């Protein structure tokens, strides 16, 4: 029962049971008293299973407390099948770090995605990181990364996540990583590992839904005869050299109208490859309309054109201002499907490995498999200092009640003075109003206006 | 096992139980050749095997036959001697009467012992759905043709793949790691 209480406290961010009474005396009781009803899913499952004389879930027997118990057989988790959408995170962790200035006192909640951003936050060693994703497979990927840092040397970590390939994955998994993984993550990687990292596969970055984007770039490269140019861009030594290759050949092909109408503007591509849901697409469309002709209506807009505009605004400044071969791993990975020693996310640097392979590096990490609102609702009020919601709220329906409900829950889970970092495909996300109504102060820290400004890097 | 640990020096004792005299003889010759003196081959019906019959420290009280006692009542049923590691490799499906063997597992295992089971099985997803303690269900479900075909096929060799064997051996315990793949399954359960 002691373990039960400790685990529950660790997950819900509630004060540890033995300290609860002390806490209640000093705080006055009324507010803290509510935490007795706020229980973790692990706690609820344990109470149910014990009362029915059933064994406890596998999560109770893990070596590490990183992965929080979830019921893998629920439809909301099964809907993703056995595939993650993102094999790498698009969001620039360095920009986030500059904005957030994470300290050792911070309690951060962020969406797992491919886990790259979570590792970037872990480098700053905050008090606690809550990584949340509804898709269990995204969390399996993060768990694999965390286990790799815990058990493997730099060479193997680089092979797995820098190059995306390892010829001996199965033996690594069984002999070194397995004690550090949850049963579900181990099960997943034993099934998927060889197809992901093995000799016959093309590597980690060619798996998951995001592979469609990488494959498309390469397919286009071959089809349109700019493969050599793309490769040259990946290794260009100077910005001028890169600009020249870009404007002379690549830009003309990648951003051509024809391509947008036939491929990129289609619903299927957006969802599968880029993970852009219909609601987010509507926001991009609306911005495009607003900029061109504010009076025209949404109907009849050519989505392909809006996306084209979006691509121009995003890609042009990137190529003109950052050297892909050295300082922009996010575009490099799309162009060549693996990182290089010259250009990679911060967490893959040797000095990061030193930090992340320390015995207690991930003590503050909790990996939740559930909806954001579900996770935050189970937390003790006033726990978080930073919530990084990325573009998850673009997915909501503007007419629906979800956004307001979510903002309410975020507000409750945050400490006074806590911060929320949002990313949106829209220039003026409609839900910013919702935040302001609930007492938040909104501040835009980056935008792709005026046209030509660079938001990534 | 030798690939991961030195069997002759790591373990205090290893008991190998099998009911086939010819297989036991093969094993004895092998261990004699390897010089592993701590590995003991016992030719016995698994239904009646008790560790305290072989390990020192057993008393008259603990020598009482284990079957029929509740596995949950540790104070009265637990043997004085328990194994830290108990493995069943392709044996659960071959023991004709498996219930008494499954019942005796709890008594054979030390309080924090680990059990590892690997065997053939066939199962429908209905037979593990809504159970939050099975720990990983990828590829666990077998489609109906394979359920019928493999069960009948193995039966000809007196090997039984029925779902109840997997359930009865693993359900009483929490699974620390589970892995299923086509025609082979392995479940490792940790008892605590």
Q: Give the DSSP H/E element, type plus range, for residue A390.
A: strand A384-390
Q: How far is A276 from chain B (nearest CA, A)?
A: 28
* Owner of token pair 């970055």: A205
* CB neighbour class for A340 (10 Å; exposed up to 12, middle 13-18, buried from 19): middle
pLDDT of residue A287: 76
Determine how β-strand B109-119 pairs with β-strand B83-89: parallel
CA distance A223 to A248: 17
Q: What is the pLDDT of residues A320-363, one digit of tens each?
A: 888 888 888 888 888 888 899 989 999 999 999 999 999 889 99
Q: Do the Cβ atoms of A109 and A387 come closer than 8 Å? A: yes
Task: Look at the alpha carbons of B134, A208, A152, A366 in this order and tell me if their dihedral is positive or negative.
Answer: negative
In sequence order, what are the residues at sequence separation of 6 or more whose Cβ sits closer than 8 angstroms to the Cβ of residue A50? A56
Candidate from A58, A178, A190 with C-beta closest to B175: A58
Q: Give the DSSP H/E element, type plus range, for residue B114.
A: strand B109-119
Q: What is the pLDDT of residues A420-431, one digit of tens each?
A: 998 887 788 888
DSSP-derived 3-state class of residue A395: helix
Candidate from A55, A69, A183 with C-beta closest to B177: A183
The answer to whether the CB atoms of B132 and A73 lie below 8 A apart is: yes
DSSP-derived 3-state class of residue A196: helix
Determine how β-strand B109-119 pairs with β-strand B184-190: antiparallel
Sheet holding A384-390, edge to edge: A365-369, A128-133, A107-111, A384-390, A414-422
Between the alpha carbon of residue A266 and those of residues A221, A228, A260, A284, the distances in Å are: 20, 27, 8, 14
Q: What is the pLDDT of residues A192-236, one digit of tens each?
A: 999 999 988 889 999 998 888 888 778 877 877 788 888 888 888
pLDDT of residue A1: 61
- Which of the given ranges, A15-24, A33-42, A125-134, B140-149, has the highest pLDDT on average? A125-134
Q: What is the mean pLDDT of chain A?
A: 82
Beta-carbon-side half-sphere exposure of residue A80 (alpha carbons within 13 Å): 23
The answer to whether the CB atoms of A187 and B178 lie below 8 A apart is: yes
Q: What letter does residue A33 receive in the DSSP assignment?
A: G
Q: Which domains does chain B have, with CATH numbers?
A: 83-190 (3.40.50.150)
DSSP-derived 3-state class of residue A226: coil
Q: Do the Cβ atoms of A367 and A350 come closer than 8 Å? A: no
Token couple for B158: 């007196």
pLDDT of residue B77: 46
Q: What is the pLDDT of residues A233-255, one digit of tens each?
A: 888 888 888 888 888 877 777 66
- Chain A residues in contact with B134 by the CB 8 A cut-off are 58
Tell me the average pLDDT across A431-451: 80
Candidate from A58, A82, A186 with C-beta closest to B174: A58
Q: What is the dihedral of CA A396, A402, A408, A412, to 10 degrees?
A: -90
* Owner of token pair 């054109």: A305
- In degrees rounded to 5, what are phi and psi of residue A361? -60, -35
Which residues of chain B, if any, have pLDDT below 70? 56-80, 182-192
Q: What is the ipTM of this complex?
A: 0.82
Task: Count the Cβ atoms, other than its own, within 10 Å of residue B180.
Answer: 24
Residue A301 has pLDDT above 60, yes or no: no
């Amino acid at each position: 029962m002691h373990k039960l209480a400790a685990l529950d406290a660790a997950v819900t961010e509630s004060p540890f049971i033995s300290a609860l009474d002390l806490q209640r005396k000093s705080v006055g009781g009324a507010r803290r008293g509510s935490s007795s009803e706020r229980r973790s899913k692990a706690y609820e499952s344990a109470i149910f299973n014990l009362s029915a004389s059933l064994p406890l879930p596998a999560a109770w027997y893990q070596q590490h407390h990183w992965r929080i118990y979830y019921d893998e057989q629920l439809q909301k988790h099964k809907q993703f099948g056995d595939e993650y959408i993102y094999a790498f995170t698009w969001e620039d962790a360095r920009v986030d770090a500059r904005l957030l200035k994470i300290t050792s006192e911070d309690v951060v909640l962020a969406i797992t995605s491919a886990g790259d951003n979570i590792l970037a936050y872990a480098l700053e060693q905050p008090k606690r990181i809550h990584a949340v994703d509804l898709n269990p497979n995204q969390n399996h990927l993060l768990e694999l990364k965390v286990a790799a840092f815990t058990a493997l040397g730099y060479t193997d970590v680089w092979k797995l996540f820098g190059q995306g390939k390892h010829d001996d994955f199965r033996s690594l998994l069984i002999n070194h990583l397995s004690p550090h993984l949850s049963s579900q993550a181990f099960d997943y990687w034993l099934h998927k590992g060889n197809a992901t990292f093995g000799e016959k596969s093309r590597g980690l970055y060619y798996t998951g839904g995001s592979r469609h984007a990488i494959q498309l770039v390469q397919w286009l490269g071959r089809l349109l005869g700019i493969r050599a140019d793309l490769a040259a861009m990946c290794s260009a030594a100077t910005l001028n050299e890169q600009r020249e290759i870009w404007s002379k050949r690549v830009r003309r092909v990648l951003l051509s109208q024809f391509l947008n109408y036939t491929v990129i503007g289609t619903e299927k591509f957006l969802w599968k490859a880029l993970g852009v849901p219909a609601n987010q697409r509507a926001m991009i469309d609306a911005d495009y309309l607003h900029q061109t002709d504010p009076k025209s209506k949404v109907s009849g807009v050519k989505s392909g054109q809006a996306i084209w505009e979006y691509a121009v605004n995003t890609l042009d400044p990137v190529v003109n201002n950052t050297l892909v071969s050295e300082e922009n791993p996010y575009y490099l990975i799309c162009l060549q499907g693996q990182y290089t020693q010259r250009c990679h996310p911060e967490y893959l640097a040797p000095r990061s490995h030193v930090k992340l392979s320390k015995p207690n590096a991930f003590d503050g990490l909790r990996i939740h498999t559930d909806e954001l609102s579900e996770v935050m609702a189970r937390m003790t009020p006033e726990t978080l200092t930073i919530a990084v919601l990325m573009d998850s709220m673009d997915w909501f329906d503007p007419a629906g009640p979800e956004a307001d409900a979510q903002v309410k829950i975020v507000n409750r889970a945050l400490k006074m003075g806590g911060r929320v970092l949002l990313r949106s495909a829209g220039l003026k996300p409609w839900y910013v109003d919702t935040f302001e109504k609930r007492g938040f102060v909104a501040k835009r820290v980056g935008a792709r206006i005026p046209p030509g400004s660079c938001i990534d890097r | 096992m030798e690939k991961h640990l030195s069997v002759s020096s790591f373990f205090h004792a290893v008991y190998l139980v099998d009911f086939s005299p010819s297989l036991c003889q093969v094993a004895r010759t092998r261990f004699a050749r390897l010089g592993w003196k701590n590995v003991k081959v016992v030719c016995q019906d698994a239904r009646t095997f008790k560790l305290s019959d072989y390990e020192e420290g057993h008393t008259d009280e603990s020598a009482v036959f284990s079957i029929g006692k509740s596995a949950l009542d540790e104070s009265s049923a637990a043997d004085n001697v328990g194994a830290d590691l108990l493995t069943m490799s392709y044996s659960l499906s071959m023991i004709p009467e498996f219930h008494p063997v499954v019942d005796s597992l709890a008594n054979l295992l030390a309080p924090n012992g680990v059990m590892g089971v690997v065997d053939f099985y066939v199962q429908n997803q209905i037979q593990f759905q809504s159970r939050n303690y099975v720990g990983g269900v990828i590829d666990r479900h077998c489609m109906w043709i394979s359920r019928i075909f493999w069960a009948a096929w193995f039966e000809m060799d007196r090997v039984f793949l029925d779902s109840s064997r997997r359930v009865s051996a693993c359900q009483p315990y929490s699974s620390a790691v589970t892995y299923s793949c086509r025609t082979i399954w392995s479940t490792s359960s940790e008892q605590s």
